[in-house]
Structures are given as C-alpha cells and as structure tokens.
Chains A and B, each alone.
Chain A
Amino acid sequence: DGGITQSPKYLFRKEGQNVTLSCEQNLNHDAMYWYRQDPGQGLRLIYYSQIVNDFQKGDIAEGYSVSREKKESFPLTVTSAQKNPTAFYLCASSVLGTGGREQYFGPGTRLTVT
C-alpha cells in the first residue's frame, strides 16, 4: 500500500536535547512538508521541500532543521533552540505541477519535551 509513515507515534525528550522525527513516503511524490499542530490551532507550516537536496522555510522554521537526501525521506530535527517543542507534528506529501494537488498526510508524531 502507498502512503506516508511517521515514526515514532509518541516521542519523549528532555529539554535541551535535539530530536529527529522520521517521515517516509512511497507515493513517488516530489514535494514533502512538515506541519506543527497545537491545541486550538490549525496546522502551521515548518519546512517544505520540492526536490531532493532543496528545501525552504515555512512560517515557523525557527528552532527546526530538515534534510532531503532521498525523494522518499524528509526527516525533521527539533533542536534545543525551539522554545516550545511539545506539539503534534504532521508530515505530508504531494505531486507538483498545476492543478489542485492535495496534500496527503502521515499519521503524525506526538512530541513531548519536559
């Protein structure tokens, strides 16, 4: 089955530690995205990538970093510089080009930092 996987589902870290969230897709999509979701908020874009070895900052990139070494993978690192890292993180992917290309989402990772 084609889809997006995120691991782990729940992640716990101590304050001051960097942590990397995994996102893998086998949909052959060019574009991948990372969103953050907080209670009572919609999703906010952290980073996105349209091609291997290239990515752009979204609306709330501070304290986060990404890499795109393979088309299928787009890991997100939450660094110790992120002031409020506890949140639900969603990865998504889409095709590129014209047309209403919806984004397909993974199941998410709940990160708790104490």
Chain B
Amino acid sequence: AQTVTQSQPEMSVQEAETVTLSCTYDTSESDYYLFWYKQPPSRQMILVIRQEAYKQQNATENRFSVNFQKAAKSFSLKISDSQLGDAAMYFCAYRRANSGGSNYKLTFGKGTLLTVNP
C-alpha cells in the first residue's frame, strides 16, 4: 500500500521569506502523480501544484515550486516570497497513474501547518 509522510507537523516563516515543506512517499509503482493541496482556515481544499512522476522537470506555479526526487521518493514544496495568505495546512497527496478502479484514490499525508509571521 502506498503511504505518504509529512515529517513536519508545523512550520513557520517570515513574510517575504522562503520556506520548504517536506514530503516522502512509499510506492512500488513507477508511474504516478503527486499533489500539494492547501487548506486555509476556511477548510476549503485548494490544489497548489501537481507533478507527474514521468516528468523530470520540477513543476512550478508562480511562487510555488517542487523538488521532486524520484529515486529518493521525495516531493518537497518551496514557497517563495511568503505572504500572509499562504498560512494554511498543506497536504501532500499521491495517486497511481493507471486509470480505473481504486487507482483514482488519493492518499494523503497528515499535513504541515504553516504559519506566516508579519
């Protein structure tokens, strides 16, 4: 079974600084997808960024980028120029690539609570 581990229950960063959130996963699959979701105090889950395992290039979305290390099964999220609105719980998630059945299931880590200090 796939597992996702986020080893940092809480992190804090100063506004305008950079912070990196860690995520490791365990899978025997070679093709899969990885996601970072953000859950602000409103509790709405919002997709931040997505990475396809077959792509060597790290995904980026504006101030958000990932460091995907497939061999190490590591998928960290870097937030640059942190803003007060980035304060949220961040979840790393894994999904198998093959379509059909339970392959659509997302497996989540337990989350990292990010605080942004003004």
Contact = CB atoms under 8 A, between A and B. Distances in A.
Contact of B104 (A31, A40, A42, A90): A31
Interface secondary structure of B, over-half rule? mixed
A97 B105 CA distance: 13
B66 to A, nearest CB: 13
A107 interface: yes
B75 to A, nearest CB: 13
Interface stretch (A11-19, A63-71, A73-81, A98-106): A98-106
Contacts of B50: 100, 102
Range of interface residues on A (Cβ < 8 Å): 20 to 34
Interface residues of B, number: 27
A94 B104 contact: yes
Contacts of B93: 42
B78 interface: no
Interface of B: 4, 9, 33, 35, 37, 42-47, 50, 52, 91, 93, 95, 97, 99, 101-102, 104-106, 108-111
